[in-house]
Amino acid sequence: MVHFGIEFLANETADTLADMIRFSEENGIEYAWITDHYNNRDSFSLLTYIAARTTSIKLGTGVTNPYTRTAPQLASAIATVDETSGGRAVFGIGPGDKMTFENLGVHWTKPLQTVRETVEVVRRLTLGEPVSFDGDVISIKKAKLDLGSRSVPVYVGAQGPGMLRLAGEIGDGALVNASHPRDFEFAVKLLKEGVAGRDFSQFDVGAYTSFSVAGNRDEAVAAARPVVAFITAGSPPDVIKRHGIPEEDYSRLTSAFKDGFKQAVRAVTDDMISAFSICGTPDDCIGQIHDLTGAGVTQVIPGSPLGPDKKKSIQLIGKEIIPEFKEE
Ligand code: F42
Which amino acid is it at 295?
A: A
Of 6, 29, 30, the closest CA to residue 319 belongs to 29
The closest-lying atom of ligand 1 relative to the alpha carbon of residue 113 is 52
User: Going by CA atoms, what residue is nearest to atom 15 of ligand 1?
Assistant: 157
Distance CA 153, CA 196 (A): 19
- Residue 148 has what pLDDT? 95
Nearest C-alpha to atom 43 of ligand 1 is from which residue?
111
Amino acid at 220: A
Mutate to test the pocket of ligand 1, among 41, 97, 100, 102 (most ligand atoms within 8 A of CB): 97
Taking the centre of ligand 1 as the mean of its atom positions, its distance from the CA of residue 309, in whole angstroms, is 31
Atom of ligand 1 nearest to the CA of 178: 13
In this prediction, residue 102 carries a pLDDT of 86
Distance 100 CA to ligand 1 centre (A): 13
Whole-number pLDDT of residue 1: 83
Which H or E run includes 139? strand 139-143
Flag residues of the chain having pLDDT under 50: none
**Tens of pLDDT, residues 128-167:** 999 999 999 999 999 999 999 999 999 999 999 999 999 9
pLDDT of residue 328: 59
User: For residues 58 and 154, what is the distance between their CA atoms, to the nearest angstrom?
Assistant: 12
Q: What is the pLDDT of residue 98?
A: 84
Mutation choice for ligand 1 from 107, 120, 138, 159, CB with most ligand atoms inside 8 A: 159
Q: Rounded to the nearest whole angstrom, what is the distance from the C-alpha of residue 266 to the centroid of ligand 1?
A: 30
Q: Please give the Cα distance from 52 to 58 (Å, whole number).
A: 12
Q: What is the pLDDT of residue 136?
A: 97
pTM, rounded to two decimals: 0.97
100's CB contacts (< 8 A; 6+ apart) are 37, 38, 39
Burial level of 134, CB count in 10 A (0-12/13-18/19+)?
exposed
DSSP H helices, 52-195, are: 71-85, 98-104, 111-126, 161-170, 181-195
Among protein residues, the one with the nearest Cα to ligand 1's atom 49 is 110
**152 with 82: CB under 8 angstroms?**
yes
pLDDT given at position 83: 97
Q: What is the dihedral of CA 209, 215, 216, 218, to 10 degrees?
A: -20
How much distance in Å is there from the Cα of 247 to the middle of ligand 1? 25
Closest atom of ligand 1 to CA, residue 208: 11
For residue 114, which atom of ligand 1 is closest to its CA? 53
List domains and CATH numbers for the chain. Answer: 3-215+278-325 (3.20.20.30)
Measured from the Cα of 35, ligand 1's closest atom is 6
Ligand 1 residue neighbourhood (C-beta within 6 Å): 35-37, 62-63, 65, 94-97, 110-113, 157-163, 175-177, 208
- Written in H, E and C, the secondary structure of 266-300 is HCCCHHHHHHHCEEECHHHHHHHHHHHHHCCCCEE
Residue 160 C-alpha to ligand 1 middle, in angstroms? Answer: 7
